[in-house]
Structures are given as C-alpha cells and as structure tokens.
Structure 1
C-alpha cells in the first residue's frame, strides 16, 4: 500500500477522533496494511487499531 492509502484513510476519517487521524498519518506501510484488513471485521474504530 502506498502513502496514498494513508491520504485516503485520513479523508475517510475526516471529522473522526484526532487520535485516529494521527495514527494514520504516522503509520508504517505494515500498519496501514494491517488496519486495511482489520477494518473489514472490526466492530469499532478502536478495534481497527489494536
């Protein structure tokens, strides 16, 4: 996944908690890939980032 994926993630989370957008903007490529998979089954936003 490219850093473009991070831009997309931040756009999707616009208006959401600042901690979530901050995590996305500082994420490694591995973290972005893991979160992209987690978002499909997570019940909450917090669960995506665990």
Structure 2
C-alpha cells in the first residue's frame, strides 16, 4: 500500500476541481446542508461562562 502524501492528495484534488470548472471532467458532487448557527448576545455568553 502506498504511503499517504497530503501534498499529492491536495494537488490532485485541485487539478480535478480545475478540470471540472473548465467543463473537461465530470466529478461526483455532494451537497451538505448545515443547520443555522445559534447566535448569542454578549450577555448570554457572559452568563454561560459564569455558570461553567
């Protein structure tokens, strides 16, 4: 089994993304939905820190 090389993996992924953007290659696309982040006021954060 070949050793994992982070640079080579990132380089390959970037090359594939460029080819896809240019319409020269089809790639599998996965869309991920994120929940909306909860926003806290400064006072709420201050209160949570005191409780902890």
Q: Which structure's relative contact order is higher, taking Cα pairs within 8 Å and 6+ residues apart?
A: 1
TM-score by length of 2: 0.29
TM-score by length of 1: 0.29
More helix by share: 1
